[in-house]
Amino acid sequence: MVAQLSDRTALVTGGSRGIGRAIAERLAAAGALVAVHYGSDDAAAKDTVAAIEAAGGQAFAIRVEFGTDGAVERLAAALAAGLRERTGSDRLDILVNNAAISESDGGIETETPAGFDRLFTVNVRTPFFLIQRLLPTMGAGGRIIDIGSAVTRIALPGELAYAMTKAAIATLGRNLANEVGARGITVNTVEPGPTRTDRTAFLFDRPEAAAMVSAGQAIERIGQPADIAAVVAFLATDDAGWITANTIDATGGSYLGPKRLRG
């Protein structure tokens, strides 16, 4: 991956923590100038940019809270200004739609209209219109990579509405790929499974919980943000230029079914 993305520019939404941070750091390590979008955690964003720069990469942070009025336009304006300042152009090569919320009011019996609408606003409406807004700045070789979730095939209690948003993202990717392929732009969706981040550490740092989840994996361990970042980084390269309209399972083989007995 070293220098494969030199002279490329990237935007990673939700890029200051967890999987988003790992993606931002991996793209920067490959030579891309990375705009790290975040919603509210100034310290996390500052730390992410500092870590990228300390490793020899280039990055800058953009604070915009998704779900608020004018969020897409504010992000696009700040991105254009940041890119022009550093490159002399507002050209964007790589867009990673990672930002999402998973907070839900429950399943079919308890989900509220307000909670449902917020999930779809942040997880579906915002990336849709962000793509619409930024497509004019992308040219041949452009990459759009959406972060979905394994919940589109694994039914988990209390995540019905969230799973619906991620299914919408996968549908967006397939259809959009057909529209922008003639421009040399690829669109793919990466679906992580159980992954340890600062938000899931409370669960996966418990040995009994980690062992239970790992037992349901083909590769018997909990995923790390770097596992997802590696897939995204590959899709951003020229080597992945013939891969589009795909939904890529990046779960380590989560919940594939019963395993053959050993012994």
Active centre residues (catalytic):
162
Torsions phi, psi for 20 (to 5 deg): -60, -40
Q: Give the list of residues 6+ apart from residue 29 with CB closer than 8 angstroms, or none.
A: 1, 2, 55, 57
Alpha-carbon span 22 to 102, nearest angstrom = 19
Residue 62 contacts by C-beta under 8 Å, 6 or more apart in sequence?
A: 35, 36, 37, 38, 75, 78, 79, 82
> In a 3-state reduction of DSSP, which class is residue 192?
strand
DSSP E strand boundaries for 39-171: 58-63, 94-97, 143-147
Amino acid at 237: T
Give the CA radius of gyration of the chain.
Answer: 18
